[in-house]
Structure 1
Amino acid sequence: MQQKTRIEGWQFTQPPQDHLRIEWPGGRFETARRGQTGEVEGKIAPDFHLVMVTLNGGAAHHAFRTDDGFRYEGRDVKGMVSFLPAGCNRELVLRYVAWEWGAIAIDPVVGSPKLRNAKSFLVDRDDFIYGTTAQMCGLYHREGNLDVTYCSTMALALSEYLSNRVAGRGQRGTSVKNALTRRQLRDTYERIDARLAEPMSISDLSLPLGISEGHFFRTFRGATGQTPLEVISRRRMDRAARLLRETDLPIIEVASLCGIESPSHFARLFRAHKGHSPSRWRNK
């Protein structure tokens, strides 16, 4: 009998390689790869809702069963997406597998209430879920880290997407109850501007208003048409543009004052918002 290797929430007879994991309040992201392997048995016991994506490669045979009665037996290929609700275990067998996978875990307390009754599922392809997971994986490998605000925003967006998938077509339009009040929005903008130089999570903005992260995300987007991450990024880049124009501070210090420690990430973000690199903006 093969000895199983345990990675919090995951048990495999043969561990994957390059297993990376990052956590933030309300979620976590994991990714790993596996070279050509004849057979792997395992069990997944998630404490959070878990979305798993085959980013590259696959398996000639993948069979699993879950506690809520879902069963699958067949191939696993790039793009396949599966969902496992919190507290629902999955037992699996993989044969002739070589792949790279990514997984996003969503705290059931923070995620949409609609997910509480969600069941396990698997689809051949979902461009939104695949694209979200692949983007997080690419950034993680490139930067060696992920921004807390970015992670929490992506996880909440994924939670909303999944809840609409589970519940069917979501309601159209935005009613008054689905948007922050003017006072709440003004207070939130002031709070964002006061903390642009610091890491910022959704909970930092939702707690002072006395509402959940998921409700804040929905009502903020209902009021502004943008996600919290989009607004935070825009206001950070507006501050950066002013500092570059009005001061002689080194660019790396400007980035730090705008809450971004990675110079390369700052340069990409600034160019995306302003159309020029930080140095070219300053020279112009």
Structure 2
Amino acid sequence: MPFREAETGVPVEALADAEMEMSAEVVPGALVEVGSNPEWETRDLVVPRHYLALNLDPEPLELERRGAGGIVRETLMPKSFWVNPPGRPFSHRVARKNRFGLIALKPDLVTRLTGREEMETMLAYGVADPQLYHLTRALIGEVRAGFPGGLVFMQSVVTALAAHLVRNHGVEPPTRPSVQGGLTQQQTNRVIDFIEARLVDDITVEDIAAEAALSAGHFSRLFKAKMGETPYRYVMRRRVERARTLLDHGDRRVGEVARRIGFSGTSHLTRQFKHHFGITPSQFQQEARR
């Protein structure tokens, strides 16, 4: 995590004593970490990102922070967040070991994904936000599992998290873009052609949105209104449909087809195939040969 001294900008290893379970830049500009830290004290540190710290302990976490009027005591209940704006100095003291999850989003990433210029998050402690919690857990779970959903899934979750952050934790809640009129037919055709041409690649929602000249967050809403499913669901459905065609026309192994279509492995294809068609790829091949 890129901590820095507020006054000098010198990097600080504020989590040097932490036991890190995982740390991954899930998409460029979005960092996810999980770890445990002994008692912790910081003074005038900043993080140049939107910073969300989640209490993963089963009991409340008590911390002291230095405010304008002196020492302020804050409580983070289980599953609640401390949300800190980019570049906002903080001085904290935590008197016991604690288990945490961290999400850190670069401001330019949030701008690209949401179309919101110069968005600033509100400083808040003990934020109980079920949707933010579930999105954070989805990112943590995906990293733990070895990224089975691929980059397009990870990009979708990060986009949803960025949009939620802007909508619910921005200093000035943005006006929700109107979906009236939706995507033009030309935009839709460009997007569909792009997806079909890049179906086997690890494309992101941001890549697809660029074909329509829209931010990822705005595009995702318009795409769902037009197509009835999110970009991630559409891409996954088309991959599975193409896999079915390959399995039906040839004697290819399931693992070979999974690799050709861009799945992370046989189990990933099998799980998605069964979700869409109700049977496994092997069962489909057996029925096709009868």
Q: Under TM normalisation by the shorter chain, which class is it?
A: 0.7 to 0.9
Q: How does 1:24-39 map to 2 (within 5 A)?
A: 24-25=27-28, 27-34=29-36, 37=38, 39=39
Alpha-carbon distance in 2 for matches of 1:233, 1:65? 48
Letter in 2 for 1:239: R
Q: CA deviation at 1:283?
A: 2.0
**2:162 matched to 1:159?**
yes
* Paired residues of 1:40 and 1:94 also in contact (CA < 8 A): yes
Q: How does 1:9-158 map to 2 (within 5 A)?
A: 9=3, 11-12=14-15, 14-25=17-28, 27-34=29-36, 37=38, 39-42=39-42, 45-57=46-58, 60-64=61-65, 73-106=73-106, 107-112=109-114, 113=116, 116-143=119-146, 147-158=150-161
TM-score normalised by structure 1 residue count: 0.81
Cα 1:274–1:72 shift into 2, 3 Å: farther
Q: How does 1:134-283 map to 2 (within 5 A)?
A: 134-143=137-146, 147-165=150-168, 166=170, 174-176=179-181, 179-283=182-286
Q: CA deviation at 1:58?
A: 5.4
Cα 1:163–1:278 shift into 2, 3 Å: same
Q: CA deviation at 1:75?
A: 3.3
Look up the SS of the partner of 2:252 in the other structure: coil
Cα 1:66–1:188 shift into 2, 3 Å: farther
Cα 1:215–1:249 shift into 2, 3 Å: same
* Paired residues of 2:121 and 2:165 also in contact (CA < 8 A): no
Moved more, 269-278 or 182-191: 269-278
Q: CA deviation at 1:51?
A: 2.9
* Paired residues of 1:63 and 1:92 also in contact (CA < 8 A): yes
* Paired residues of 2:274 and 2:280 also in contact (CA < 8 A): yes
* Paired residues of 1:58 and 1:78 also in contact (CA < 8 A): yes
Match in the other structure for 2:6 = none
Which structure would you say has the larger Rg?
2
Q: RMSD of aligned C-alpha atoms?
A: 3.0
Q: For structure 1, which runs of at least 5 residues remain unmatched after alignment?
A: 1-6
Equivalent residues, number: 271
Q: CA deviation at 1:145?
A: 6.8
Percent of aligned positions that are identical? 20
* Paired residues of 2:79 and 2:133 also in contact (CA < 8 A): yes
Q: CA deviation at 1:173?
A: 7.0
Cα 1:73–1:279 shift into 2, 3 Å: farther
